Structure 1
Amino acid sequence: MRILLVDDDIELADMLGSYLERESCLVQKVSDGTSAVVQALSGQFDLMVLDVMMPGLSGVEVLRRVREHSMLPVLMLTARGDDTDRVLGLELGADDYVPKPCTPRELLARIRAILRRTGNQPQPAHETDVLREGPLTMWPGERRAQWGEQTLELTSTEYSLLELLVRHAGQPVGKDVLSKQALGRPLARFDRSVDVHMSSIRQKLSRVAPGRICIQTVVRRGYQFIKA
């Protein structure tokens, strides 16, 4: 696992970096936003761990610039209880977040959860099939999706959520199931991550299918992809 670790707290970055390296990760540490953008777009990393609060170019602005050119998986480090930065990061395309202070073990678990969805691990046979639902086609083995001839630019988490809904098209899927299977963690109380990601997916679908409602909210039951 090639990890880009972006945090201006040198002591914390050294501690997290040392732990990740002991767990067989290759870690590049960066302490400023400008360098983070350059490194993130270099194509050398599997995932970026990005602190929100940095002087100069903030983590949110780094994420915004990276998402203009790349779908590199991004795990945000946010201040505990700071819902504004957390939601903004998810809306801009972060795959997940970890509140600070966090333990290295928790950080590694979240990294592995994201990379399980994006890595080069052998896929079960059913996950290499082509999924089709109306104009939507998904290639789980390649983690690629198209609406008609138009490519959907989805983050790794958005792809996992949409794939899960399409596999159960016409049936509601609970938020707890979506969180466990797509985010790799149980749904926490007051956690809006699934809702924010789903809002982003809907916006992207609406751009390629104007006027068409593809994902429906089912009150107290979750979300469902509407069968064509």
Structure 2
Amino acid sequence: MKKMTLCLATIAAVALTSCNNTTNNQNTNTQTVTTEQTTTPEAVEGGFAYKVSPISVVEWVGTKPAGKHNGTINVTAGGVDVENGVITKGEFVMDMNTITVLDLEAGKGKEDLEAHLKGTDPEKVDHFFNVKEYPTATFVFKSFDGKTLTGDLTVKGKTKEVSFPATVTITDTKLAIDSEPFKINRVDFGVNYGSKSVFDNLKDKFINDDIELVVKAKLTK
């Protein structure tokens, strides 16, 4: 078996914490590869050797002074090509309508926070991800140096190059990507609500700019 260390991202898609305590007047703007021998979702899925399985997710954690929230976003399309044990091409699509909050119970704030993050609350459409206008986020592979996977992450129509570590396991029929925790700055993608780097009147009622992400992607031939 061969092993190589690779970095991948997701957020995925990014998602982040509730702003229940934030002012409401802000309209924001080592790949390890093991081999055993050997932008619509539909369009992206087409020509890849390994295609994304529906159990693939990006886990997210967002924080603020009062606490934190965590959840997932589904990776619903895309795939990877491999040549001689090396990823040569890859693209992943995150369905932003699948933003889910895991640390709150139904009827106890879960639905409200999910609606706020998605922008389905008509008074808070663009506070976070505005899924009606931007229903997907994408990550497109660019290169890797044996330890770091680099690609273009696009969220809310804004694209930024990101890099991060992951373990990649490849067999003849399956490919798994499990990243280490890494962070992105949501403000880079126009997700400005509750950011003290954008608004100067928030005092302690702010949401941290960094979102922690973990990619857990499964692909099959």
- Scaled to the shorter chain, the TM-score interval is under 0.3
Q: What TM-score comes out, normalization by structure 1 length?
A: 0.26
Whose helix proportion is higher, 1 or 2?
1
Whose strand proportion is higher, 1 or 2?
2
Q: What TM-score comes out, normalization by structure 2 length?
A: 0.26
Tell me which of the two structures has the higher relative contact order, counting C-alpha pairs closer than 8 angstroms and 6 or more residues apart. 2
